[in-house]
Amino acid sequence: MNAYGLRQSMGLLTAVALCALCGCSDSGDGGGMDAGSVGDGDSGGSGRYDSGFGNAGGDGDDSVLTTGNADFVNDDHFFINDDPPPICEADGGMRPAPPIEGDADCPGDKNRQGCPCDTPGEEAACWPGQRASRNHGNCQDGVTKCFDTEEFGTRWGPCEGYVLPEQGALRGPEACRCFSNGNWDLSNLSPCYGACDNQPDCYLYSSGADLVDGKLDCSGASTSPPSVPAGIWGTSALTMDCGGQFRLCFSIKAGFASDPQPDDCVITEQCQDVWYGSAGERMELPDMPGWASSAGACGKQFVETSGYGEMSIQGVSRECNDVDNGEGEPLVFFRTSYCPAACQDTPDTPDCAKCSMGGSGDF
């Protein structure tokens, strides 16, 4: 009896190893998700803005300004005055964002240059860009410092070191949208199957969650619809840069990861509906259950030609942005090919040396 694993990755964001015994994947870069356009004001990579002010008093205290006050509080420095995004809840409801201290010119959550602050010398995070981009993907806060000015009192200084979305970027970490940094980690992606000889159908089913003597836990080839194996297929965990309600699916298809077609037949599709509440934290998801495919003709094609695994996501972020392919369909963020069938019986050969049982898709 033989089984395929995962070998060649065709990443659709920034994907690394997504593997299944006997399989491995090389890193791949490619397209990604379109969860909404980048605002007109957010542009151009890392921003370091300096108003040219400083301590001209010579008293050794760099939190006190004695000159340059006009430049310090003017409106020439970069800043986007945007509304905070609404909040989407687990029950499907939407509510307004909580009130923000301050006003439109000096919002309390952004620590804008020239706005009042409390304690000279105090440092704080600052963000002059759109709130919907903040701390997503490559975007990160800058740092500002509170200065004591002679003319205007204590005021925040320049916001230094912040990173904005890249101009024109709609996908990937550079766009700083939801689902631009994270990982779906599956411990097992391997199906069981064997040589179908001259039979018209070949049926795939899930392997056991653990290896047995270095090989997949499979009971043999199946040329008739098998029963669903007892036990789980594997474990599942998710880490994302934003919260929300999402549907994650892993599909096994007959065809080629390097040239996927819309009509590639599906061996199985295993999905998980997830409310992900704490952005940036690893969340253990329910185990992936065992399965048995009823697609015998598709299994025959998989065995005799080639097959691949595919990860996709669709949902709504807590900021109420759609996470999909931009056309209302699931976003495929990772594809990878299965290794040759012989790797089940000879996993230590050079052709199979990089094959493994499970893996993860990065986005």
CB 238 within 8 A of CB 285: yes
pLDDT in the model for residue 48:
30
Q: What is the pLDDT of residues 175-194, one digit of tens each?
A: 888 887 789 999 999 898 87
Using the predicted structure, report yes or no on whether residue 248 has a pLDDT greater than 70: yes
Count CB atoms within 10 A of the CB of residue 215: 18
Please give the Cα distance from 341 to 346 (Å, whole number).
9
Tell me the domain boundaries of the chain: 6-36+177-362, 43-85+100-169
Long-range contacts of 207-211 (CB under 8 A, 24+ apart): 207/3, 207/21, 207/233, 209/233, 209/234, 209/235, 211/21, 211/357
Rounded mean pLDDT, 248-272: 96
CA-based nearest residue to 311, from 242, 252, 234: 252
pLDDT in the model for residue 119:
94
Q: What is the pLDDT of residues 45-86, one digit of tens each?
A: 333 333 333 333 334 444 444 334 445 555 557 888 888 889
Rounded mean pLDDT, 1-18: 33
pLDDT in the model for residue 143:
97
Q: Which has more confidence, 136 or 24?
A: 136
3-class DSSP state of 69 = helix
Please give the Cα distance from 171 to 299 (Å, whole number).
34
Q: Which has more confidence, 43 or 142?
A: 142
CA-based nearest residue to 361, from 6, 14, 8, 18: 18
Using the predicted structure, report yes or no on whether residue 16 has a pLDDT greater than 50: no
Where are the extended beta strands (E) located within 231-328? 232-240, 244-254, 266-276, 283-289, 307-317, 322-323
pLDDT tier, 349 (very low <50, low <70, confident <90, very high otherwise): confident
CB 208 within 8 A of CB 198: no
Evaluate if pTM is beyond 0.85: no
Q: What is the pLDDT of residues 144-163, one digit of tens each?
A: 999 998 888 999 999 999 99
Q: What is the pLDDT of residues 279-322, one digit of tens each?
A: 889 999 999 999 999 999 999 999 888 899 999 999 999 989 89
pLDDT in the model for residue 39:
35
CB 299 within 8 A of CB 267: yes
| 27-31, 83-87, 189-193, 323-327: the lowest-pLDDT one | 27-31
pLDDT in the model for residue 234:
94
pLDDT tier, 213 (very low <50, low <70, confident <90, very high otherwise): confident
Q: From the centroid of its chain, how far is CA 348?
A: 33
pLDDT in the model for residue 227:
92
